[in-house]
Amino acid sequence: MHPTHPTGRSWLMVAALGLIWGSTFMVIEVTLRGITPLWLAAGRIGFAALLTTAIWAMQGAKLFEKGPRPPWITLAIIGALSSAVPFMAISWGQQYVTSGFAGVSMAGVALMVLPLAHFMVPGDRLTRRKTLGFLIGFAGVVVLIGPGAFASSGATTEGLGRLALLGAAACYALSSVLMRRLPPVDAIGLSAVTLIIGAVVVIAASLAVEGPPPLPDQRTLILLAGLGLIPTAGANLLRVLVIRTAGPTFMSLTNYQVPIWSVIMGTIFLGEPLNPNLFLALALILTGVALSQWGALSRLFGHR
């Protein structure tokens, strides 16, 4: 594994991920009217696993290149931490916490990645400028969410709900770092294998907790297919590509974009009032991104 630097393609993929995941919350909210939370997660991951595996099979189903022995235990851990465990933790935890805290906890992925990458990923060192940039970006997310960022929901199990959300954020952070440490691997194959593992875990958990799957109506099935195709299968492949080529710290910039796009999409499609703090938050987030990625931006525009 050699240190790599973000390219123009890396920036485009991260921007696309922010837009995709920031738009997903609306679709999930509508889909939950026709299916239970865990089976929603199982449906989207299962559909994404089938689709990605079919594409991988058509390309020969090769995973690792010649070299070290495939770390299957690590792959199993990555598969569980990339989708299944955080999906279930978020579905359960959001019942007891405010949406504001959920947004802040997901933005916290970027801060969690910093020390993990420093110790576990060669060439992804923790610097003062990078840390300051990520803190400014996190502050932008808090400004965007406003007073609800740390407000109490009043639920008796709110503490456990918050732990579940923070645990989900930690899962995303750790899985990103572990994925970057893998030996040379086919991106589609890695995406397929992690989704298969995630699907097995979440389907088993859904059966244990919610019983047999419900029979959704046609509209819910279409929404599930859409969730499986774009924000799960497609976005998971983009995530793998970004982590493997530009590193987990760069990938974590996506978490600062998601709440911005979520607010914008809510205003455009749901008629929600425009958050007055949007532009201040956007300025802080962009400042933080520019500061933390100054070297990458200098290399990117220096070649022009």
The domain spans of the chain are 8-302
Asked whether 26 and 266 are in contact (CB, 8 A), the reply is yes
Each residue's pLDDT tens digit in the chain (304 positions)? 454 678 889 999 999 999 998 888 778 878 888 988 889 989 999 999 999 999 999 999 888 877 666 678 888 999 999 988 988 888 788 778 877 788 888 899 999 999 999 999 988 888 999 999 999 999 999 999 887 777 788 888 899 999 999 999 999 999 999 999 988 889 999 999 999 999 999 999 999 999 998 889 999 999 999 999 999 999 999 999 999 999 999 999 999 998 888 888 878 887 878 878 899 999 999 999 999 888 767 766 664 4
What the block records as the tokens of 294 is 């100054």
**Residue 247 pLDDT:** 92
Q: Which residues contact 228 (CB under 8 A, 6 or more apart)?
A: 43, 44, 45, 46, 47, 48, 51
